[in-house]
């Protein structure tokens, strides 16, 4: 029960702050991975920002699935916050799979 509440709080926090992902919030994740490789550090930050934009566009759409967001949000949130690239990928893959299942019904 406690873990469920923590995951729910993380997802709700991510939902509330997702639109406000800034470069300074994303940079620590990329610095931890790429440290002094400045080319890759810039690439990582750009990819995270683009993925954040994609997720926010999806979030604002009327046909979003909150269950998918909760599943993916809980998987791709860690000590650095939200991994936007992986959250975006997870959402896309879950939606594809859901559409395939819907066609089978």
Q: What is the DSSP string of 53-105?
A: HHHHHHHHSTT--HHHHHHHHHHSEETTEE-HHHHHHHHHHHHHHHHHHHHH-
Write down the pLDDT at residue 89: 98
Query: How much is the pLDDT for 9?
Result: 43
Contact assessment for residue 74 and residue 55, using Cβ atoms and an 8 Å cutoff: no
φ, ψ for residue 35 (rounded to 5)?
Answer: 40, -100
pLDDT of res. 2: 58
Among 77, 83, 102, residue whose Cα is nearest residue 33: 83
| pTM as predicted | 0.78
Burial bucket for residue 100 (CB in 10 Å: 0-12, 13-18, 19+): exposed
Cα–Cα nearest to 41, from 52, 26, 55, 51: 26
The segments of the chain whose pLDDT lies below 50 read 5-18
Instruction: Tell me which residue has tokens 């919030």.
Output: 25
Contact residues for 99 (Cβ-Cβ < 8 A; gap 6+): none
């Amino acid at each position: 029960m406690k873990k469920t509440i923590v995951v729910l709080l993380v997802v709700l926090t991510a939902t509330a702050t997702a639109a406000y992902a800034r470069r300074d919030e994303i940079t620590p994740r990329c610095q931890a991975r790429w440290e002094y490789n400045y080319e890759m550090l810039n690439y990582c930050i750009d990819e995270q920002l683009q993925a954040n934009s994609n997720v926010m566009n999806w979030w604002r759409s009327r046909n979003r699935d909150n269950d998918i967001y909760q599943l993916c949000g809980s998987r791709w949130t860690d000590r650095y916050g939200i991994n936007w690239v992986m959250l975006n990928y997870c959402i896309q893959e879950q939606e594809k799979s859901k559409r395939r299942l819907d066609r089978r019904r």
